């Protein structure tokens, strides 16, 4: 029973980290100002596999595997308010998550995830260094599929608020650098299978990106991040939260001034108290109009 509780708790943290990552992880080059009046549509797809489970920094014996496939549809509009460049966005996720091997009893789930509303404003711009800074806030609402009798759910049955600061600049003629930091605040999930409630301390993430431009419309990119998702308390039992460091590398290409494709792959470097990702493949398409 104690072992199954651990698996269930880590499974919750696992999908919490996936769900959060779409708001937290920022694609390099995605924070530059866009002309007012511009609309955009973005499609994201991520396939990820995790094959190790850690309690603290110790690997749990056995063959645990969690696989996820996530699609995001993102809609946004850029405008000026009191001469301040701003953007309002809606993010709609569809997800599938499945436990395999020794933890197959946790089952699977798929469906609509939690909707996310985003509001961003640019408070700094320096065209000489192609630099800008942005504050973005995200509100995730519990619209996703959730069943208290399931161990795995694509919805979290709680609200999340994320505050994010980001800065980018060109440090060399063909090299751009970015740094992004955020903190996440969680509401309470009061609908657990065993009764009681789940609470979580606020989490944070720090991320840095670098891009090398082969051409003006084509770059190679790499990123590193570290995240602490916050400790949790489930039915009165406190558990250390997931801590995760990861990297990814990829490329971005813009065939026209209004379209862009990004492909990258990566994996976790180190994980505490959770499942370790051994493979991640991401694809993104953006159309401005």
Question: Would you say the C-alpha torsion 55, 59, 62, 63 has a positive or negative sign?
Answer: positive
Question: How high is the pLDDT of residue 235?
Answer: 80
Question: How high is the pLDDT of residue 22?
Answer: 40
Q: How far apart are CA 65 and CA 212, in angstroms?
A: 35
**pTM of the entire structure?**
0.90
Provide the 8-state DSSP code for 154.
Answer: S
Q: How far apart are CA 109 and CA 285, in angstroms?
A: 26
Which whole-number Å values give the CA distances from 150 to 20, 236, 265, in the listed order?
20, 20, 30
Question: How high is the pLDDT of residue 32?
Answer: 72
**CATH-assigned architecture of domain 2-288:** Beta Barrel (2.40)
Q: How far apart are CA 44 and CA 285, in angstroms?
A: 7
Q: How far apart are CA 46 and CA 55, in angstroms?
A: 26
Residue 223: how many other CB atoms lie within 10 Å: 22
Region of residue 19 (phi > 0: left; psi between -120 and 50: alpha; otherwise: beta): alpha
Which pair of structure tokens corresponds to residue 249?
């590398």
Tell me the pLDDT of the chain (289 aa) as tens digits: 444 445 555 555 555 444 444 446 888 877 677 899 999 999 999 999 999 999 999 999 989 899 999 999 999 999 999 999 999 999 999 999 999 998 898 899 999 999 999 999 999 999 999 999 999 999 999 999 998 888 889 999 999 999 999 999 999 999 999 999 999 999 999 988 767 889 999 999 999 999 999 999 999 999 999 999 999 998 878 889 999 999 999 999 999 999 999 999 999 999 999 999 999 999 999 999 9
Question: How high is the pLDDT of residue 45?
Answer: 97
């Amino acid at each position: 029973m104690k072992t199954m509780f651990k698996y269930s708790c880590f499974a919750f943290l696992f999908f919490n980290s996936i769900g959060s990552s779409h708001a937290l992880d920022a694609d390099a080059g995605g924070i530059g100002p866009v002309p007012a009046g511009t609309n955009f549509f973005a499609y994201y797809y991520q396939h990820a596999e995790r094959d190790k489970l850690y309690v603290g920094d110790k690997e749990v014996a056995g063959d645990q595997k969690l696989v996820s496939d996530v699609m995001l549809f993102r809609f946004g509009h850029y405008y000026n308010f009191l001469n301040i460049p701003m953007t309002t966005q809606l993010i709609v996720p569809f997800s599938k998550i499945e436990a395999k091997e020794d933890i197959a009893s946790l089952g699977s789930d798929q469906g609509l995830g939690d909707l996310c509303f985003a509001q961003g404003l640019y408070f700094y711009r320096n065209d000489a260094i192609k630099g800008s800074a942005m504050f973005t806030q995200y509100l995730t609402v519990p619209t996703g599929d959730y069943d208290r009798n399931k161990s795995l759910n694509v919805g979290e049955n709680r609200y999340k608020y994320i505050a994010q600061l980001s800065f980018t600049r060109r440090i060399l003629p063909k090299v751009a650098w970015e740094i992004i930091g955020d903190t996440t605040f969680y509401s309470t999930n009061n609908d657990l299978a065993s009764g009681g409630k789940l609470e979580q301390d606020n989490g944070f993430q720090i991320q840095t990106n670098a891009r090398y431009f082969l051409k003006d419309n084509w770059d190679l990119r790499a990123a590193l991040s570290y995240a602490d998702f916050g400790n949790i308390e489930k039915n009165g039992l406190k558990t250390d939260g997931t801590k995760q460091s990861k990297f990814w590398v990829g490329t971005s290409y813009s065939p026209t001034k209004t379209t862009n494709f990004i492909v990258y792959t990566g994996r976790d470097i180190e994980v505490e108290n959770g499942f370790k990702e051994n493979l991640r493949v991401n694809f993104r398409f953006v159309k401005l109009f």
